[in-house]
Chains A and B, each alone.
Chain A
């Protein structure tokens, strides 16, 4: 539609609230996601505090959050906190920051387009996400509180028996709307990348960020609907009394709780790649930008990401090894899961080869990119133990799993988000973030984060189940309690370190030094226009002549980078 050329908005409402502009919508998503990160992060702190100090009131916020129990998180709210921490972090923090926020902001800018293919749909996508967030928020205040069925919502825990009241029903509606928002975004991203790349930009001339975003959008479009379908059946169960997910008490009429696990993980496994692919794409670009070298084997990196995308759709059974599926099936899933390590290793080696002997500039975005490589390495290698049936049977539902998925899809994605924020902040807001604070933030996050999740491996390997409220009630866990307390100390330290980011973000927003058009000296298209870009992005659509990582071209004399739309000097 001709919508993608829109007139300049004039009123406050059309400029900042109901905006068609992908850059504004990206910032709106970023704000929403950072808010989700704050709420989900505070919940994580409460959870950790409760494990380390059962029965001790949570400091400062405790009396505000739990007035009835003098500031102690009660046992019936514990699982609610675990559930909502996971739900908020996945659907309302990571998704809006990386996919909604940076997906929107980067796609048109990096491919040289003036806006998304369907700006109206884009705006709708954001406001439906706001609705979903509101529904999740409201669910805390209904009778019985928010859902406590785990973020995976396994029945019968999530049935009306396990979760009476409106909490879990609202959870399903919230997920439904959040999913719809993601599908709308995906339609936009896929179409925009297919149809609106600047002239001269072939598929393999796109920045790897765009590859990550596009593949994520493809997975979103195909697999979010599976969760939607599963959620619709669960809504039928909860609201109209059908029993698709509950076994019958009499006769042959009953449904099957394991069915939900199939549907959930057919969605759920691609979902973890939905979350990590944008971060991988961003890191693949940033490592090259700050090592001042072309990305090593760009084409293989892109192909590896494609291979991982395809494989991610056929490995979901490894989440269900303990459900008693036929060994033939579980062994197939095991082999397919192990196959993913091939493209993942290619990706990883290409990152290392990209920075190998580069003239590395240790800026904050670079530090966070290296952080992604490090924590994803830790998380990826421990994934092998969970992909293997023999070890997974023992490790299933222990803290080993918690440590693993936090390193991969929480820590790596969080670092990817921070890398993206520090990197594109000048383009988004026209001001630089403070480098010293940024580096401090990195180290103050990395050290406790690594310590806390690695200690979780030890606790999990020792047999601690992942959803225990009061560790002291289990004789066999008592020797682990000091370790649990150390994990909590590390978690609180990491939480405290985020104030450095908040201070840096807010002070730079209003008082940061003015950013030049191209402060990082890189060649992708968005750095060839002013910071922040005008509402139409490109006055003239650029014609792309180079790849995204043209560094140290031998014919360049005065600088070491070449813009994508620049001619190579004779």
Chain B
């Protein structure tokens, strides 16, 4: 976006200055900003878990004796999607490493695996809702069903956002792998690391959601 004609010389100097190390600087800026964003957005998840805890403590008996329970199909798919999203985080981590090592094909493969596992996550999530609904677990009129649908749906919205972020950073993987020097892929590295942080965050948020809804 910085066109040479309209930019004062000091700005161009700053971009390439060997003294200040501008690439490192802006990469660190992005990392700090992303950390603040994730800490902040993590508070939304914490709020939902807090609400869930308060409601469950107030309910006396949990699950409430007059509510239909989550079917085993939903429970099992929750285990399956936990595995899927953990694997996806691992694959994404590999993809970043491979890209930085210049192994373009392997990096793209690992990155595609991440996105496929993300899609699998979403499909299984929808399946678990359908099964729960067929077993009579309702969003309306019961906080047992209400908490299940609200927490998982809020998380699923983040999976979609995460997939969007991965698509946004997709071209960067190839560019990082094919580039000669680290300097010329500054933007791509920021893009990839931001998308990856978000995806790992969605992964962590799922573990917490899984604990809150299915295990505790």
Give the interface of A toward B (CB within 8 A): 1-8, 10, 117-118, 121, 183, 186-188, 190-191, 194-196, 221-226, 228-230, 232-233, 236, 240-244, 248, 251-256, 259, 262-263, 266, 536, 539-540
Contact = CB atoms under 8 A, between A and B. Distances in A.
A295 B141 CA distance: 58
Contact of A241 (B50, B140, B147): B140
Contacts of A539: 8, 10
Interface size class of B (residues with CB under 8 A): 35 or more
A195 B29 contact: yes
B144 A253 contact: yes
Contacts of A3: 1
B146 A242 contact: yes
Contacts of B51: 229-230, 233, 244, 259, 263
B143 to A, nearest CB: 5
A480 to B, nearest CB: 39
A252 to B, nearest CB: 4
A333 B61 CA distance: 29
Given A187-B40, A242-B146, 9 more contacts: A186-B40, A191-B32, A224-B40, A228-B47, A232-B150, A233-B150, A244-B51, A252-B67, A253-B141
Contacts of A8: 6-7
Chain A interface, >50% SS class: helix
A121 B30 CA distance: 12
Contact of B29 (A117, A230, A266): A117
Contacts of B40: 183, 186-187, 221-222, 224-225
B166 interface: no
Given A5-B14, A229-B44, A232-B154, A118 B33 contact: yes
Contacts of B48: 229, 232-233
B181 interface: no
A225 B44 contact: yes
B141 to A, nearest CB: 6
Q: 5 closest Cβ contacts across the A-B interface? A: A229-B47, A225-B43, A7-B6, A242-B146, A241-B140
B146 A226 contact: no
Given A8-B6, A117-B29, A225-B43, A252 B146 contact: no
Contact of B54 (A10, A183, A262): A262
Given A2-B15, A243-B143, A255-B55, A232 B44 contact: yes
Chain A CB within 10 A, most for which of B36, B66, B144: B36
Given A2-B2, A8-B6, A253-B66, A263 B47 contact: yes
B64 A252 contact: yes
Given A191-B32, A222-B43, A242-B146, A2 B67 contact: no
A193 to B, nearest CB: 11
B123 interface: no
Contacts of B42: 225
Contacts of B36: 186-187, 190-191, 221
Interface string B180-203: 000000110010000000000000
Interface in B159-181: none
Contacts of B106: none
A118 B36 CA distance: 13
Contacts of A225: 40-44, 47
Interface string B1-32: 11100111011001100000010011011101
Given A191-B32, A195-B32, A254-B143, A2 B186 contact: yes
A8 to B, nearest CB: 5
B140 A251 contact: no
Contact of A226 (B6, B15, B43, B61): B43
B40 to A, nearest CB: 4
B1 to A, nearest CB: 7
Nearest to A7: B6
Interface string B125-147: 00000000000000111111011
A536 B186 CA distance: 23
6 contacts: A121-B33, A183-B41, A229-B48, A240-B140, A259-B54, A263-B47
Contact of B47 (A2, A183, A230): A230
Contact of A243 (B59, B65, B141): B141
A242 B64 contact: no
Contacts of B22: 2
Contacts of A228: 44, 47
B155 to A, nearest CB: 12
A222 B39 contact: yes
Given A187-B40, A221-B40, A1 B146 contact: no
Contacts of A259: 51, 54-55, 58
A242 B33 contact: no
Contacts of A252: 59-61, 64-67
Given A7-B6, A253-B64, A240 B139 contact: yes
Interface string B52-80: 00110011110011110000000000000
A195 B149 CA distance: 41
Contact of B143 (A183, A187, A195, A253): A253
B64 A6 contact: no
B190 A1 contact: yes
Nearest to B147: A244
A22 to B, nearest CB: 15
Contacts of B139: 236, 240-242
Contact of B146 (A121, A243, A266, A536): A243
Nearest to B157: A232
A499 B41 CA distance: 41
B58 A256 contact: yes
Contact of A244 (B55, B60, B154): B55
A232 B154 CA distance: 9
Contacts of B41: 183, 225
A500 B155 CA distance: 51
Contacts of A248: 141
Nearest to A248: B141
B37 interface: yes
Chain B CB within 10 A, most for which of A4, A5, A8, A232: A5
Contacts of A255: 55, 143, 146
Given A228-B44, A252-B66, A536-B8, A187 B14 contact: no
Contacts of A536: 8, 10-11
B44 A194 contact: no
Nearest to A236: B150
Contacts of A121: 33
A301 to B, nearest CB: 25
Nearest to B32: A191
A216 to B, nearest CB: 14
A7 B67 contact: no
B61 A1 contact: no
B1 A229 contact: no
Nearest to A224: B40
Contacts of A118: 29, 33
Contact of B2 (A7, A253, A263): A7
